[in-house]
Chain A
Amino acid sequence: MKTDILLFGQLAEQVGAKQISLEGFSDSETLIKALQQQYPVLSQSKYIVAINQEIISGNTALSDNSIVALLPPFSGG
C-alpha cells in the first residue's frame, strides 16, 4: 500500500522535499511517527494534516494511494 506525502511552505524547505512516497502504512498516526523519525525536524514544526484534501483531527485510516499533506500555518493574502 502506497501513500504519497506532500509538504508545503517551511516544511518542504526543512525536509528538503515537496513529495515523499512511503509503503506499508494503514493509518495516519503511524505514518506521521515514521516521518518524524526519518525527518526529526517535523517533531518541532507546527502543522495540520489533510488526507485527500480533507483536514483530519485524530488518527485516520489510509487507503491505497492516499495523499497525505502536511500543512504549516496558512499565510496567504
Chain B
Amino acid sequence: MKEGKLKNIFVQGSITASFIADSIQKHSSKTGIGGHSIFLGQVRTDEINGKKVAAIEYTSYEEMALQKMHEIREAIFVKYELTCMHVYHSLGKVPAGEICLFVFTSSPHRKAAIEACSELVEKIKAELPVWGAELFEDNSHQWKVNQ
C-alpha cells in the first residue's frame, strides 16, 4: 500500500501571480541553478455552439493523483539533472483568464529544465486523474476533453 506523506500539488481556486512570484523568489538562495523553466496553464474562453466558457471547475481523485504525481516526479528526477521541481494544479472553480496549472523546473543548465518542464506538462495532462468541467456563462456545462 501507499506509504509516507505525498507532496500536495493541489491549490483551491486560481494560482495567483503573487504565488508564482514568491515561488521564483524562493530560489535565489539556490545559487547552483542556472536556468528555470516555467509552464503556466490558463483557462481559455473557448466558444462552443455560440456559448462562451466562463470558468473551469476541476475535481480529482486526489489520493491517486498525488501518488501518480509522486511516481512522475521520481522518474523525471532520474531522467534529468534537475535542482528542483514544483507542480501546482487548481481544484474547484478557475475563471477564464486565470492560471490553473503551474509547473516549475530548475537546473544548472537550461536544457534539462526546459525538457523536464515540457515532459512534466504532457504527463500531468495525460496521467493525472483530474477532470475539468467547462462552465458556460448561462450556467450550463460540458466536460473538457484534452487534446
Contacts and interface: CB of A to CB of B under 8 A. Distances in A.
Nearest to B1: A52
Interface residues of B, number: 28
Contacts of A6: 61
Chain A interface residue number, banded: 10 to 19
A50 B146 contact: no
B1 to A, nearest CB: 7
Which of A6, A53, A71 counts the most chain B CB atoms within 10 A?
A53
A16 interface: no
A9 B143 contact: yes
Given A8-B59, A71-B129, A76 B89 contact: yes
A8 B143 contact: no
A9 B128 contact: no
B143 A75 contact: yes
B64 A50 contact: yes
Given A8-B129, A8-B131, A75 B146 contact: yes
B125 interface: yes
A73 interface: yes
Contacts of B59: 8-9
Contact of B89 (A50, A53, A77): A77
A77 B124 contact: yes
6 closest cross-chain pairs (CB), A and B: A76-B130, A9-B131, A75-B144, A53-B64, A77-B125, A10-B143
Given A9-B143, A74-B128, 11 more contacts: A9-B59, A10-B131, A50-B64, A53-B2, A53-B67, A74-B129, A75-B130, A75-B144, A76-B58, A76-B60, A76-B125
Interface of A: 6, 8-10, 50, 52-53, 69, 71-77
12 contacts: A6-B61, A50-B129, A69-B61, A74-B125, A74-B126, A75-B143, A76-B89, A76-B124, A76-B129, A76-B132, A77-B89, A77-B124
